[in-house]
Amino acid sequence: MKSPTLLWNSTLLRHFTVQTFWITVLYMMMSLIVLPLSLWIFSLSMTDASYLYDAAVFENLASVHLVFGMIYAAGLGLFSMNFKNQESVSDFIHSLPVKRVTVLTSVFIIGISSIIISTGLIAAILMVERFALAFELAALDVLSWLVYSIAVMVTVFIITVFTGFFTNHLFIHLQLVIIIFFLPLALWAAATSTASTMFDGISLFQGVMDDDLLTPVVENTFPIFAVMQIYEPISWMKWVIWAGVALLAFILSYILYARRQNEYVNLNFTYHPVRLILSVLIVIVGMLILGNVVGLIFAAGNIVRVIAFIFAWFVSFILVEMFFQSTVKIRFKVRRFLISAGSAVVFMAVFYAGWNMYSNYVPPVDEVEAVMVDAAEAGIFSGYVPQNDIMSENFLMMDDPAYISDVTQAHQYAADNKVPRHSLEEYRIFEVTYRMKDGSMVHRSFDHYPEGEEAESLLTELNTAGQTRAQDLIYNIEDDRDLVQLSLMASGGSALLIEDGREMERFISEYKEGSQKTADAGTELNRFASEHIINAELEFSNGRFNEWIYGKVLLYHPAVLSRISEEQDISEFISLAGAEEVYAYEIGPDDEFYEDYRRLPFEELALKYDLEALGEDGRTEVMDAVDDGALNAGSGRVIIYTNLNYYPYEGTDDIEADAAEYTHFIVGVE
Amino acid sequence: MKINIEGVNKSFGAKKAVDNVSMSIEEGTMHGLLGSNGAGKTTFMKVMAGIYRPEAGEVLYGGEAVFENTRVKSDVIFIQDVPYFFSSATLEKMAVFYKGLYANWSERRFHQLVGHFNLDPDQPLNALSKGMKRQASFILAMSARPKVMLLDEPFDGLDPIMRNQVKNIMMQDIANHNMTVIASSHNLREMEDLCDSVSIMHNGEILFNRDLNEIKGTHCKLQIAFKMLPDENFYKDIGAVHKNLRGRVATCIIKGDLTAVERKVTKYDPLMYDILPLTLEEIFTYEMGEKGYEISNIIVE
């Protein structure tokens, strides 16, 4: 016990246990409420329908618990290390006949064993409680939760202890813990969101394949990553990295403590350069956020925006100094002021040049392998690319070189003719995602695609039969082994479900065979049908639970029509049977009917093309033809009928909301 | 345990708080470290306690450096100017803590001292008065039976009776157990009766470091009155190193062979004279004056 060679000391262990006892009690109380008690209450109030969700209940509660657990671990680190924050305690502890290595080892032993014992006790309660629950809670799940929670909390604890060596102030230590975990995210989020309001073309959230600008940083922010991992398969690679970080922090803690100079206990920060760097970075974050908000509020032009950033920088600088000096009566240091100001100027210069280059970049055609476009204005909706083994990698992506070239031209036009972003009105979204030949992804998202004839014609070029195929959910199924169910759903509410594996396989095979022909028959009618009348849904198992993917499907495909007619009348499925009014029209060779259908309100469309509602006989004739399978995307004769599910937007003058495309369905009939 | 301090430096940024300090303190003696506020006494004491690492030089206890040396530190106890106790700790709880850390802890002595100072061992220490806290810290320190005790302003807050009790107990340990005590103070008179040797610190430097008995054997104060003041030869003759004249009364500090002073003085036919031992203040006045310092600028009380 009193040997100088020992790494720990029982007296110090007792001391640190007493120091952190009540915070451990608090954590245990919270854990008891969040896990055993909540599970018990859920079990008591469970209805039969709730059985569907029991797998998620434990995960959801575990994620809430983990948030408390991380706060507890940080609290343990903060209060264990508080002995070095006051001169009297620091002097007392360091005058005792114990080495620093012994003091720190005692801190680690007590912190880690408090985490293990308290969480272990909760796990023991859960192990007993699971026999009394109305739903199944596997012992392995509890053990996995225990090991995982301890790993996360120990990581947070070690990093908190390490952070403590950079300050001699409890409140600043708390700030540093928050900073070390969240500063990269805050800086990147502030930089990208500010950039996205200053430059059009930057994709913050609409990126695909989990590869947008923000997601990688969000997912690698430890507390967020730790909670997300409860719902996902363990990412061993990331855990190895975080374990390495924790190990490094653990080792560095000993090195920093050995080098610690107790005489500077009254300084808020132990290392001046660290303080300076953190201060500069946080001031920049504050400048970006506040400057951006002020710029947005005043819908500012460039000069006002610059003034807003200067103002925001100054306010942030003062606030950070208040926090770092732990007083509102700050000591103003000219050198610190100048360094911070200079850094902000350099940052903004790099920021502006970098994002300008980023938003102007259009990849060379010969480096692009495939491309995906979302252009609402041109009626091209691609949506979100799901990450699974079911769909082929070309789902939603076009690899036709001519198409890629058309996309880069439209993209170049958008980049060269950017609309000033002084306000967020008048959205005309154009998003493009390139899969490059080197495997990387390039995303650009324009909220304000330029108007004008050239812009329109470039977009129109992108609406092709190939695009229809690329977006087809069933056509792009790569591996159907994990499929649980395939559904064809009509906007009127009808649904056809295929659950039998062999039947699904047969349907998919038939569908793929005939897709080319159907898609080529008529791009416009196929697109209108798949956007407004029918869509498909795939339910599949990811090994742990079921997931769903939604997407487009060709209404006019013979396999689809045959499948519908086996179950119900096609006219009923496509909501033609109950339509209030039905119109027929023969499209002429020079007609811009589809374009007008997409843009004009139905009244104007009817007036322009002299549409008249069919009488009872005409409707019966059309419905009979449809039920006999006469739907044809290549037909020049179209039937337009009322969309009973359309509810007009209220309080808006948006002409798009009332366009015929939304108020009326259109199908081609032979 | 003999203490050797060899060329110790300690700075706070650009400011040197301890500047090339060297001294030696014998085992079983008490050394007074004197100096005004900000002289560097506390910093020096913390270097001696192994709390601060010196930038240069070493503090050696029995030949071993103190910094991060648990063997040395278990024999050295430092009592801060404001004693520290854990929040809500009682004397009993602090005793358990000390007992776990100091190998020489004496439970018997602890209970003796608690009884002697009449403190309630179960009362929270932070609720006690400044003086009682100091008594408690003294009880804890003495119960650990250290070989060296470092005291920063040790008698601050103690009433005269308690001061004497503390001094007595300390002196007993010095006499009986060869304990070495280094006490810092800005109070000259307090140290005068206790210390075997003293040093004065000013701006981080040791200006003066002497054994008091040695000084007292070679220096004395002469107060002498004449009908008519003698010339400078008188002062040279008696070996006066410092003189102060008030009317026809001269007060001199004399250095050298004190046995011959009376013989030399009577040759000048004074009206009356008295040979007195020097007070600490007078020794400093003389010593520091020689080095160009006014003692009143260095030590306030």
- CB within 8 Å: B100 and A14: yes
Query: Per mean pLDDT, which range of A365-369, B156-160, B182-186, B257-261 is the poorest?
Result: B257-261
With beta carbons under 8 A apart, name residues in chain A contacting B65.
none
For B96-127, the pLDDT digits (tens) are 999 999 999 999 999 999 999 989 999 999 88
For residue B301, pLDDT over 50 is answered with: no
- Give the one of A14, A15, A262 whose C-beta lies nearest to B52's C-beta: A262
With beta carbons under 8 A apart, name residues in chain A contacting B153.
none
Mean pLDDT across the stretch B199-216? 85
- CB within 8 Å: A96 and B43: no
For residue B300, pLDDT over 50 is answered with: no
- CB within 8 Å: B50 and A95: yes
- Give the one of A11, A14, A92 whose C-beta lies nearest to B84's C-beta: A92
Cβ–Cβ contact B70 with A under 8 A: yes
Distances (CA, A) of A363 to A318, A356, A372, A408: 43, 15, 13, 7
For residue A258, pLDDT over 80 is answered with: yes
Query: Per mean pLDDT, which range of A127-136, A483-492, A648-657 is the poorest?
Result: A648-657
Place of tokens 């329109």: A456
Give the residue on B whose Cα is nearest the Cα of A101: B68
Q: Which residues contact A536 (CB under 8 A, 6 or more apart)?
A: A473, A474, A486, A487, A488, A489, A550, A551, A552, A553
Place of tokens 């419905």: A623
| Nearest to A539, CA basis, from A492, A604, A480, A581 | A480
- CB within 8 Å: B52 and A92: no
Mean pLDDT for chain A? Answer: 86
Q: Which residues contact B79 (CB under 8 A, 6 or more apart)?
A: B134, B137, B138, B141, B149, B150, B151, B152, B154
Please say whether the beta carbons of B271 and B226 come within 8 A.
Answer: yes
How many angstroms away from the CA of B99 is the closest CA of chain A? 9
For A549-572, the pLDDT digits (tens) are 888 899 999 999 999 999 889 999
What is the layout of strands, in order, in the sheet containing B249-255?
B240-246, B249-255, B219-225, B272-276
| Nearest to B219, CA basis, from B252, B193, B247, B249 | B252
Distances (CA, A) of A654 to A113, A380, A650, B8: 62, 19, 10, 82
Cβ–Cβ contact B78 with A under 8 A: yes
With 0-12 CB in 10 A as exposed, 13-18 as middle and 19+ as buried, what is A342? exposed
d(CA A305, CA A288): 11
For residue A655, pLDDT over 50 is answered with: no
Residue A657's pLDDT is: 53
d(CA A405, CA A395): 19
Tally the residues of chain A.
Answer: 670
Mean pLDDT across the stretch A280-287? 94
Residue A32's pLDDT is: 96
- Give the one of B49, B53, B71 whose C-beta lies nearest to A4's C-beta: B71
What tokens appear for B230 in the block? 């003698």
With beta carbons under 8 A apart, name residues in chain B contacting A4.
69-71
- Give the one of A92, A97, A263 whose C-beta lies nearest to B74's C-beta: A97
Mean pLDDT across the stretch A12-16? 90
Please say whether the beta carbons of B32 and B281 come within 8 A.
Answer: no
Give the residue on B whose Cα is nearest the Cα of A10: B100
Query: Per mean pLDDT, which range of A291-305, A346-360, A531-545, B143-157 is the poorest?
Result: A291-305
Identity (one letter) of the amino acid at A399? Answer: D
- CB within 8 Å: B100 and A10: yes
Residue A95 — pLDDT band, cuts 50, 70, 90?
Answer: very high
Residue A133's pLDDT is: 87
Mean pLDDT across the stretch A37-45? 88
With beta carbons under 8 A apart, name residues in chain A contacting B78.
91, 95
| Nearest to B238, CA basis, from B264, B273, B275 | B264
Q: What percent of chain B has pLDDT over 70?
A: 95
Highest mean pLDDT (candidates A148-162, A194-208, A225-239, A383-397) = A148-162
- Give the one of A11, A92, A261 whose C-beta lies nearest to B100's C-beta: A11
With beta carbons under 8 A apart, name residues in chain A contacting B52.
261-263
Give the residue on B whose Cα is nearest the Cα of A272: B13
Q: What percent of chain A has pLDDT over 70?
A: 91
For residue A233, pLDDT over 90 is answered with: no
- CB within 8 Å: B73 and A97: yes
d(CA B35, CA B297): 10
Highest mean pLDDT (candidates A527-536, B43-52, B166-175) = B43-52
Place of tokens 């029995």: B62
d(CA A254, CA A107): 11
The secondary structure of A152-186 as a DSSP string is HHHHHHHHHHHHHTTBS-HHHHHHHHHHHHHHHHH
For residue A660, pLDDT over 50 is answered with: yes
Q: How far is CA B238 from the centre of its chain?
A: 31
Residue A4's pLDDT is: 45
Please say whether the beta carbons of A407 and A371 come within 8 A.
Answer: yes
Please say whether the beta carbons of A668 and A556 come within 8 A.
Answer: yes
Pairing of strands A495-498, B30-34: unpaired
Query: Per mean pLDDT, which range of A116-125, A180-189, A424-433 is the poorest?
Result: A424-433
For residue B299, pLDDT over 60 is answered with: no
Give the residue on A whose Cα is nearest the Cα of B55: A261
Q: What are the backbone angles phi and psi of residue B17, rounded to the nearest 5°?
A: -85, -35
B60-65 long-range Cβ contacts below 8 angstroms, 24+ apart: B60/B3, B60/B4, B60/B5, B60/B6, B61/B1, B61/B2, B61/B3, B61/B147, B61/B148, B62/B1, B62/B2, B63/B4
Residue A378's pLDDT is: 58
Please say whether the beta carbons of A164 and A77 come within 8 A.
Answer: yes
- CB within 8 Å: A95 and B12: no
Higher pLDDT, A474 or A377: A474
Q: What are the backbone angles phi and psi of residue A557, rounded to the nearest 5°?
A: -65, 135
Cβ–Cβ contact B73 with A under 8 A: yes
Residue A497's pLDDT is: 92
With 0-12 CB in 10 A as exposed, 13-18 as middle and 19+ as buried, what is B281? middle
Residue A1 — pLDDT band, cuts 50, 70, 90?
Answer: very low
Give 3-state DSSP helix, strand, coil % of chain A, rounded to 5. 60, 10, 30
For residue A103, pLDDT over 70 is answered with: yes
d(CA A555, CA A535): 8
Residue A447's pLDDT is: 76
For residue A239, pLDDT over 50 is answered with: yes
Give CA angle at B132 (B131, B135), nearest 5°: 90
With beta carbons under 8 A apart, name residues in chain B contacting A262.
46, 51-52
Query: Per mean pLDDT, which range of A1-15, A221-235, A286-300, A304-318 is the poorest?
Result: A1-15
User: In chain B, how long is the greatest CA-to-CA distance?
Assistant: 71
What tokens appear for A81 in the block? 């290390």
d(CA A621, CA A627): 10
d(CA B19, CA A35): 61
Query: Per mean pLDDT, which range of A60-69, A187-196, B88-97, B145-154 is the poorest?
Result: A187-196
Give 3-state DSSP helix, strand, coil % of chain B, rounded to 5. 35, 30, 35
Higher pLDDT, A58 or A457: A58
Q: What is the dihedral of CA A354, A356, A362, A364, to 10 degrees?
A: -50
How many angstroms away from the CA of A172 is the closest CA of chain B? 21
Residue A89 — pLDDT band, cuts 50, 70, 90?
Answer: very high
- CB within 8 Å: A11 and B97: yes
Q: What are the backbone angles phi and psi of residue A402, rounded to the nearest 5°?
A: -65, -40
- CB within 8 Å: B70 and A4: yes
DSSP symbol at B223: E
For residue A613, pLDDT over 70 is answered with: yes
With 0-12 CB in 10 A as exposed, 13-18 as middle and 19+ as buried, what is A648? exposed
The domain ranges of chain A are 1-168+233-268, 365-463, 483-668
Going along chain B from its start, the domains and CATH numbers come out as 3-203 (3.40.50.300), 214-298 (3.30.70)
For residue A544, pLDDT over 80 is answered with: no
Residue A3 — pLDDT band, cuts 50, 70, 90?
Answer: very low
With beta carbons under 8 A apart, name residues in chain B contacting A14.
100
Query: Per mean pLDDT, which range of A42-56, A113-127, A573-587 is the poorest?
Result: A42-56
What is the layout of strands, in order, in the sheet containing A495-498?
A495-498, A483-490, A534-541, A546-551
- CB within 8 Å: B101 and A2: yes
* First and final C-alpha spacing in chain A: 95
What is the layout of strands, in order, in the sheet containing A582-586?
A582-586, A637-642, A664-668
Please say whether the beta carbons of A35 and A61 come within 8 A.
Answer: yes
For A155-207, the pLDDT digits (tens) are 999 999 999 999 999 999 999 999 999 999 999 999 988 888 888 877 766 55
How many angstroms away from the CA of A80 is the closest CA of chain B? 13
What tokens appear for A490 in the block? 């009509």
- CB within 8 Å: B100 and A9: yes
Please say whether the beta carbons of B158 and B192 come within 8 A.
Answer: no
With beta carbons under 8 A apart, name residues in chain B contacting A15.
86, 97
Mean pLDDT across the stretch A446-467? 75
How many angstroms away from the CA of A3 is the closest CA of chain B? 8
Q: Count Cβ neighbours within 10 Å for each residue of A449-486 and write b for 16 or more, e otherwise.
A: bbeeeebeebbbbbbbbbbbbbbbbbbbbeebebbeeb
How many angstroms away from the CA of A164 is the closest CA of chain B? 19
With beta carbons under 8 A apart, name residues in chain B contacting A13.
none
For B36-75, the pLDDT digits (tens) are 778 899 999 999 999 999 999 999 999 999 999 999 999 9
Please say whether the beta carbons of B260 and B237 come within 8 A.
Answer: no
With beta carbons under 8 A apart, name residues in chain B contacting A100.
68
- CB within 8 Å: B100 and A97: no
Q: What percent of chain A has pLDDT over 90?
A: 44
Residue A380's pLDDT is: 60
Residue B148's pLDDT is: 96
How many angstroms away from the CA of B155 is the closest CA of chain A? 18
- Give the one of B71, B73, B96 whose C-beta lies nearest to A96's C-beta: B73
Cβ–Cβ contact B300 with A under 8 A: no
d(CA A649, CA A319): 45
